[in-house]
């Protein structure tokens, strides 16, 4: 290979000006979808972030960052990259949230997409880094990884239009497709490695719709379908994750078939379970399997000429201007190539390490961990065998208890489970995970009890209503219920979607003494095991 051919190959892979010219429509769809996913993430934080990590929240970001600074010293910025180092006040956390909303809307409108996607990424990273228990979700890593790679994939310029003359680098496209593949394939791997017998005896889906973190009313109906349907769903899931996703590496027509299979599957998951923006990311990434040959057949006619407008490489070279600009452009290409190759190396090492055959050094992986742009994925490794719900209750006398009603969690028996994803109620979501363990493993539960005793308005705002009308109760406790979907006959008679039974105290009941101190008024019960 001559030097000229080598340079030409590198430019096709790393240079946004010289990449493949057959993916404009898919890129346009993905960037719009990514902007909307960012918007959903920041919009949900508007109503939660002060109660979660604000100065008076359950887990204040300032307290966490001070602990990080004490432990890491001067390198704390690298280990916890967040804008909240400057300030973690209520005004600061709301400013970062509003900034993310504004940038996501501008990116959706195609205004300086790269710059605004970077603002979205740094604002969301700032929250995820500082949120502790409330940001340990795989969906957060998916969004940060896809969002960072998209900084090299989105078209450059202040107002790029459809950017048919500005192709993206092939390696950024490949890394986005690689993330899509890993989400599916690694989810299959963890199911096999977990040894959960439910996947092997085809019963993993029998109670999945009932026991998922935040079910939907459609899931209620699907739950009552016969066992053969649920067994077939297990087979379909394993085939999809172990076999069908390999179609990514086949020619375009095979990828099209793959897209036509996985897209309805993801829509089905979205309708039967609220998994925030997780499935929307996977759904949108699937569009990158397509190319313009297919999309031009289904897009409105008025867009076609704009998307497939030709622009010769010679004209693109002329637009680069002076030698100084050419030098800066070349430096940018090299830097982009180094960063993208680093991510590719790290994600490959992560996946190989998961299946136990990694021979690659892991140091580059650990260096990227604080930025959540090289992640391991693995969904539903072990299926939960029951639905448990934590409920906070307050009392004036220690005898009569009033529940704090949640906005999204199952609680009222006659209230239908709703569909609200990609909105993510992080507090409600976290309580589902906490219910599978004990309160010592989930310190945010007793912390919430203390905040309710203090009548902290930001924390009370995480609930649907305040049963004490702005006054602080004297006692607060967290109790544990077990929930089941009602049968079809029971729903017909009672109108209830749920039935439940109380298992006892989940965390200690806490009393606030006249001098403002907290003390335990009742220890938690010895609850039955449900792991």
Whole-number Å distance between alpha carbons of 38 and 107: 10
Whole-number Å distance between alpha carbons of 526 and 523: 9
31 and 154 in contact (C-beta within 8 Å)? Answer: yes
Whole-number Å distance between alpha carbons of 61 and 422: 24
Dihedral of the CA atoms 107, 109, 111, 112 (nearest 10)? 30
Tell me phi and psi for residue 4, to 5 degrees. Answer: -65, -40
Tell me phi and psi for residue 274, to 5 degrees. Answer: -90, 100
402 and 395 in contact (C-beta within 8 Å)? Answer: yes
Count the residues in the chain. Answer: 531
Per-residue pLDDT of the chain (531 residues; tens, 9 = 90+): 455 555 455 455 444 443 344 678 889 999 999 999 999 999 999 999 999 999 999 999 999 999 999 999 999 999 999 999 999 999 999 999 999 999 999 999 999 999 999 999 999 999 999 998 999 899 999 999 999 999 999 998 888 876 767 777 889 999 999 999 999 999 999 999 999 999 999 999 999 999 999 999 999 999 999 999 999 999 999 999 999 999 999 988 999 999 999 999 999 999 999 999 999 999 999 999 998 777 777 766 555 555 555 433 434 443 445 666 666 666 767 777 788 887 888 888 888 887 776 667 777 778 888 999 999 999 999 999 999 999 999 999 989 999 999 999 999 999 999 999 999 999 999 999 999 999 999 999 999 999 999 999 999 999 999 999 989 999 999 999 999 999 999 999 999 999 999 999 999 999 988 887 888 887 776 554 454
Residue found under tokens 């299959």: 188
pTM of the model: 0.90
If you ran DSSP here, which 8-state letter would residue 273 be given? B
Instruction: Measure Cα distances from 62 to 68, 130, 298 in Å.
Output: 10, 8, 50
The residue ranges of every structural domain in the chain are 14-371, 387-522
Q: Which helix (H) or strand (E) holds 507?
A: strand 498-512
1's tokens = 């290979």
């Amino acid at each position: 290979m001559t030097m000229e051919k080598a340079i030409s190959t590198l430019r096709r892979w790393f240079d946004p000006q010289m990449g493949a010219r057959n993916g404009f429509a898919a890129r346009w769809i993905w960037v719009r979808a990514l902007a909307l996913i960012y918007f959903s993430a920041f919009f949900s934080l508007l109503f939660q972030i002060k109660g979660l990590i604000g100065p008076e929240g359950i887990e204040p970001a300032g307290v966490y960052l001070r602990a990080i600074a004490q432990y890491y010293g001067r390198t704390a910025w690298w280990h916890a990259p967040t804008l909240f180092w400057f300030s973690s006040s209520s005004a600061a956390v709301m400013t970062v949230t509003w900034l993310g909303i504004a940038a996501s809307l501008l990116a959706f409108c195609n205004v300086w997409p790269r710059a605004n996607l970077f603002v979205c990424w740094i604002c969301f990273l700032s929250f995820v880094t500082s949120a502790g228990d409330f940001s340990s979700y795989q969906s957060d890593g998916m969004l940060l990884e896809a969002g960072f790679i998209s900084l090299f994939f989105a078209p450059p310029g202040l107002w790029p239009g459809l950017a048919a003359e500005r192709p993206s680098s092939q390696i950024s496209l490949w890394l986005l497709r690689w993330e899509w593949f890993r989400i599916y394939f690694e989810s299959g791997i963890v199911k096999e490695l977990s040894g959960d017998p439910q996947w092997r005896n085809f019963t993993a889906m029998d109670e999945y719709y009932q026991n998922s973190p935040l079910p939907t009313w459609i899931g209620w109906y699907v739950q009552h379908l016969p066992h053969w349907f649920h067994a077939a769903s297990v087979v379909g899931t394993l085939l999809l994750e172990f076999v069908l996703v390999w179609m990514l590496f086949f020619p375009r027509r095979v990828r099209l078939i793959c897209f036509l299979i996985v897209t309805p599957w993801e829509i089905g998951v979205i309708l039967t379970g609220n998994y925030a923006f997780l499935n929307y990311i996977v759904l949108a990434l699937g569009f990158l399997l397509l190319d313009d040959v297919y999309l031009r057949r289904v897009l409105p006619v008025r867009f076609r000429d704009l998307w497939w407008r030709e622009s010769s490489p010679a004209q693109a070279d002329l637009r680069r201007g002076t030698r100084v600009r050419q030098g800066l452009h070349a430096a940018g290409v090299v830097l982009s190539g180094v960063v993208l190759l680093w991510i590719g190396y790290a994600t490959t090492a992560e996946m190989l390490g998961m299946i136990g055959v990694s021979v690659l050094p892991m140091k580059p992986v650990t260096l990227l961990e604080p930025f959540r742009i090289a992640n391991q994925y693995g969904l539903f490794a072990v299926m939960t065998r029951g639905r448990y719900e934590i409920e906070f209750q307050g009392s004036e006398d220690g005898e009569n208890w009033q529940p704090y009603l949640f906005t999204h969690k199952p609680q009222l028996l006659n209230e239908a489970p709703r569909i609200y994803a990609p909105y993510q109620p992080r507090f409600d979501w976290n309580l589902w995970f906490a219910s599978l363990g004990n309160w010592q493993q989930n310190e945010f539960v007793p912390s919430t009890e203390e905040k309710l005793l203090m009548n902290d308005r930001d924390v009370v705002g995480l609930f649907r209503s305040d049963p004490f009308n702005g006054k602080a109760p004297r006692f607060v406790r967290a109790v544990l219920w077990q929930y089941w979907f009602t049968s079809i006959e029971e729903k017909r008679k009672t109108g209830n979607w749920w039935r439940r039974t109380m298992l006892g105290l989940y965390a200690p009941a806490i009393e606030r003494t006249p001098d403002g101190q907290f003390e335990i008024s009742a220890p938690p019960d010895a609850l039955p095991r449900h792991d």
